[in-house]
Amino acid sequence: MSKIKVMDELLANKIAAGEVVEKCASVVKELVENSIDAESTIIKIDLIDSGIKEIKVTDNGIGMVREDAELAFFRHATSKIKDESDLYRINTLGFRGEALASIASVSKVTLKTSTGELGTIVNINGGIVESITNGDARKGTIISVRDLFFNTPARLKHLKSLQSELANITDYINKLALSHPNIKFTLTNNEVVVLNTDGTGNLLKTINAIYGTEVSRNMFEVTCENDDYEVSGYISAPFINRSSRNHIVTLVNGRIVRNQELNRIINDGYHSYKPDNRYPIVVLNIEVDPSLIDVNIHPTKMDIKFSKFDGLIELISNMVKSKIGKKNLIPKIEVKDEVVIEKPKYEEITLDLERVSEPEVYYNPIEINTSLIDTQVDEDIEEKGERMPEIYPVGLVHGTYIIGQNELGMYLIDQHAAKERINYEYYKEKLGNPKNDSISLLFPFVIELTNNEFIIVKEKLDVLRSLKFDVEEFGVNSVIIKSHPAWLPVGYEEVSTRKIIEIILNTGSNFSIVKFNEKLAITLSCKLAIKANENITLEEQEQLINDLRKCDNPFNCPHGRPTTIFYSNYDLEKLFKRSGFDKIV
């Protein structure tokens, strides 16, 4: 190639680098995807300073022969298409060919690669090949990208903080590990291991490597299928949740995709089992005939459209709801095992006469985990068809928490949350049931409003009427209620009506009857639930627990807070250091 042509190409690469390389994660993505394409089963990513100083990817893939290694950094260098039916590969190729050349044009690259015979080492500085020499015969590829943007300092400033560059890379590698549980991924930053998966193909083990045991122990395996789709994966118990939607991962035929509608359907399956602003951890793979999907690939994201989408949504929605709807979801307080730590050496030479006797061992402070109650117990309950076991009240703490017990252990029940749940299911049913009667008032009551409020309510009178209120304008800025729906709580008719009008006022223009009913049910249930610090009798406690057990979801208040927490006999014994000792001591 002539020198001028090379310089032209170099410029084009640098310009492209601005678009392709937005952050260190873009470089990592390019390099690691190349490793995956090379059929690697072990991929190690080593970063220095979150990749800004160096990104090194080591794999055990098929490697490259010298000719390919030389060509890899030229624009439009096409890597071989192995499987023409692989739609993803074809769509990404244009981007792929250019990306490596672009990266090399704004960094210092060393590529060591071998197919198992004499290897090749290519050194590139700012896009210019400095040397090509013989390397060793270790099969696979090691590529190192150093000093990203060293020759375009303006772009360097676009990189984010070390922390957010690392967060982006970690997030990307986590998702890649979830979509390739059969590849062993190791990610380090400044020699500290950030992620290490085992590559055995076990998705739950990969989840464990990313999120830890508390999460992996509380994941439910799910599968379902219809004529077009096959879905499998893991969904978290509702109390395992995160503040971002980012942990809902959906794969299609093993590739990560982003489809907001799909994420929303999955999240909706958890409705009222968790707070609305928290999101579950989910990994679902959808197997589908490629002709039923339309993939739109952009270098930084991948969106997808499905044919027969309604069928898929129904399938996934039912799968999530029925899985959660069958489980006993009382979180169990779990005491971690004591760990004996050797006494530090320096203690031995400390002469502290005040100290009476030193303990021989040090215990870890009690660490508490939440998890589901033991699988065995869980299954027994499922068989009996009861999601919440029988619990017998013992007493009330601070007029707030009921202490309960059964043969399995001790329970704490938040009486407000419990009552709220019972009320919520009651009102939700009533609100959704149009056959309800109304009750005429002997003494109609008048509700006064400000003139602004009156204008809104006047427009929404039909909503009140559909809820079985007999309501009319009354004088200036007032409405008169002559009859009300029968389900309003006795003694609270006027308060409830005011509450309903308040919600109508706040709902504004984007009024939806479903959302309105939901909000109304939640508000009424909270307002009319027993407040904390209200002492109820043992009989009332028993009634409350029995009503709670009859609920569709007895485990959470309508805001998603837990109603009940469980301490097993075993964990109580551990807490009091009884386990391992004679229990009578």
Q: Which residues bind Zn ion (CB under 5 A)?
A: 420, 526, 557, 559
Report the residue number, 98 or 420, with the smaller CB distance to Zn ion. Answer: 420
- The least CB distance from residue 563 to Zn ion, in Å, is 9
In the complex, the smallest distance separating the C-beta of residue 559 from Zn ion, rounded to whole angstroms, is: 3
The sheet with strand 438-448 has its strands ordered as: 438-448, 478-485, 470-473
Q: How far is the CB of 553 from Zn ion (least distance, A)?
A: 12
Radius of gyration of the chain (CA): 31
Of the two residues 392 and 492, which places its CB atom closer to Zn ion in the complex?
Answer: 492
> Of 270, 271, 289, which is closest to residue 225 (Cα–Cα)?
289
- Provide DSSP, 144-178: EEESTTTT-HHHHTTS--HHHHHHHHHHHHHHHHH
DSSP helix/strand/coil, 79: coil
Q: How far is the CB of 496 from Zn ion (least distance, A)?
A: 15
CA distance 312 to 292: 11
d(CA 168, CA 384): 46
388 versus 557: smaller Cβ distance to Zn ion: 557
- Find the shortest distance in angstroms from Cβ 556 to Zn ion: 8
Q: Which is nearer to Zn ion, 38 or 522 (CB)?
A: 522
Question: Strand runs (DSSP E) across 239-381, as ranges?
Answer: 241-242, 248-252, 255-257, 279-280, 282-288, 293-298, 301-306, 332-335, 368-371
Cα–Cα distance measured from residue 102 to residue 9, given in angstroms and rounded to the nearest whole number: 10
Cα-Cα-Cα-Cα torsion 322, 323, 327, 331, nearest 10 degrees, comes to: -120
Of 211, 232, 218, 413, which is closest to residue 328 (Cα–Cα)? 218
**Residue 302, beta-bridge partner list:** 297
Closer to Zn ion by CB, 219 or 557: give it: 557
DSSP string, 24-62: HHHHHHHHHHHHHHTT-SEEEEEEEGGGTSEEEEEE-S-
What is the closest distance, in whole angstroms, from the C-beta atom of residue 531 to Zn ion in the complex? 9
Smallest separation, CB 419 to Zn ion (Å): 9
Nearer to Zn ion, 424 or 567 (CB): 424
Query: What is the DSSP track for 495-551?
Result: HHHHHHHHHHHHH-SS--HHHHHHHHHHHHHHHTSPPTT----HHHHHHHHHHHHTS
Q: Is the dihedral of CA 29, 34, 40, 44 positive or negative?
A: negative
By three-state DSSP, how is residue 180 classified?
coil
Name which of 147 and 547 has its Cβ closer to Zn ion: 547
Closer CB to Zn ion, 519 or 559, in the complex: 559
Tokens for 314? 């129904």
- Toward Zn ion, which CB reaches closer, 497 or 563? 563
Toward Zn ion, which CB reaches closer, 308 or 559? 559
Smallest gap, in angstroms, from Cβ of residue 317 to Zn ion? Answer: 24
CB of 560 to Zn ion, least distance (A): 8
Q: Which residues pair with 221 in a beta bridge?
A: 234
C-beta of 248 vs 417, nearer to Zn ion? 417
Taking the complex as a whole, how short is the minimal distance between the CB of residue 332 and Zn ion, in angstroms?
A: 21
Question: Any idea which residue has 């609920």 for tokens?
Answer: 551
Longest CA–CA span in the chain (Å) reads 100
- Residue 272 C-beta: closest distance to Zn ion, Å: 10
